[in-house]
Structure 1
């Protein structure tokens, strides 16, 4: 163990009588609350009806949680099914295991349903959520710290993360400190929040394009952070599945951003032409 390192919590569950209070769940809830708060402020500042974001969250949040868990279980089925496994544990979301890709996909569906119900344009909802979602992720990632999970390779750096002997994976029993990938991703997500807000203010980008900026920013960081992790996961062509997912999602978001920007410029040029050179009957 290095002289300087980050300690891990001795426990992440407290009991209030018969009821367990889990730090992982508290981090997820805190992230959701922060995201709704920021998105609501942004929506009202744009002239939206107060309370609309909370109404949309009632759809987006449960859809996102279900989607996140489904992605995790589908991509790592060996953790829950097969000899010696307990399939019922696929439902134990409090033990960790929410895939961001599934959470975003189904969460977006829930947000779309919610937006339709409150009569809000989905593109503008996506824009106000663009910095709010990485804020939620930045806070929620601390749940992994409490659970002592999803850490990276061994390291002797001063900010190495101490992992309890019983939480170390096979082959690393004698290693005390690991890369705190939860911290790397949390800090990266905070940076993405700042990036989205800066691009929005500097270039006046909104709608789906602003959401694409968030997606590109997040996946760019998730790719290299994922590469550091040593938890058991499926590989495709030598790369972790989530690295491939990051590459594919980044490419899709970048393509959408480019095409949407071209359409926006074309529409602006057409509008300018109509104003400066009107056609008279």
Structure 2
């Protein structure tokens, strides 16, 4: 009986006329959209302006894509620049993909620029971003499935990944391998819930949640990397990505320890507000009292004075007798009415 393994897609690119639509790019875009959605919800919960997330993303995303590609090309230069290779392929981000370390590093530079322009603390924004970022990675990993790349060693496990492709050099790969893309995607998805729980359970501020993301992701990446069999440069017996994961894992733990007693900032979102002040530095307009259900309606001061004078006249009339009281009240009413007339009217 033949085992039913996980099949690979028959194609990873479709053509809309002359325009190629690549599944790898669609997965990356879906991940970015998911990250923006979750970060926006978390930023609003902190009291921030939701538009800030889009403004910062306009800087962070392009920087991250460039950084991810640079990391991949720099760590595997022989794939593009050795004799017989085509250096122009270094620009094909769908061929070989993006290195997450470079994407996070240079993406952080772009986020810093965006946050600085908006008056937002980078640490506060990074904490809001962390669950969304790992969610984007979980979704983006499925682009490797469409490309039939980044698989592991051969296996007979029932969840093995069936690969059947022709490489750029003409070699054929056919067999069943460890689905490392699936392992990493599931690890990333689990980490989304771990970060959300940790943020509710403990005081994760000043970049601490982002540090937990770094340590959590690199812990999973370390064992997934050990299962991979694709090309990678090695140093002291370990793949280069293993060393990067190990160093970042330790760095994340050190940061969490050093900042364990650091108090929470009074304003983690900086200048951001859901209801920002009016443009051009003007103070916000006063609220319209007609829209306030609790507005207290008061009488004009002149009406209050007239009623007090009439009450005093009535009280005097009662003390002096009916006839005298009516006479004084009548005189007072006449004098009061004359006071509001013009000289010509009184004449």
Same-fold call, TM cutoff 0.5: yes
**Equivalent residue, structure 2, for 1:226:** 225
**Per-residue deviation at 1:254?**
0.7
Give the whole-Å Cα distance in 1 for the aligned partners of 2:26 and 2:80.
24
Query: What stretches of structure 1 move > 4 A for 4+ residues in a row?
Result: 167-173
- List aligned pairs for 1:190-269, cutoff 5 A: 190-264=189-263
Q: Is the 8 A contact 2:222 2:245 kept in 1?
A: yes
CA RMSD of aligned residues (A): 2.0
Q: Deviations over 1:152-192 (max 9, x none)?
A: 0011001000000525999995x510001000000000011
- Which ranges in structure 2 are unaligned for 5 or more consecutive residues? 266-347
Quickly say closer, same or farther: Cα 1:29–1:40, change in 2 above 3 A: same
Q: Deviations over 1:68-89 (max 9, x none)?
A: 0000000000000011011110
**Equivalent residue, structure 2, for 1:279:** none
Q: Deviations over 1:101-158 (max 9, x none)?
A: 0000000111111011111121110111110100000000000000000000011001
Q: Deviations over 1:52-96 (max 9, x none)?
A: 000000000000000000000000000000110111100000223
* Bigger Rg, which one: 2
Q: Is the 8 A contact 1:96 1:144 kept in 2?
A: no
Give the whole-Å Cα distance in 1 for the aligned partners of 2:69 and 2:87.
13
- Which ranges in structure 1 are unaligned for 5 or more consecutive residues? 268-281
Give the whole-Å Cα distance in 1 for the aligned partners of 2:147 and 2:141.
10
Give the whole-Å Cα distance in 2 for the aligned partners of 1:214 and 1:170.
40
Q: Which has the higher contact order (CA 8 A, sep 6+)?
A: 1
TM-score by length of 1: 0.90
Q: Deviations over 1:226-267 (max 9, x none)?
A: 0100111100000100001000000111111100114449x9
Between Structure 1 and Structure 2, how many residues are aligned?
265
**Equivalent residue, structure 2, for 1:111:** 111
TM-score by length of 2: 0.73
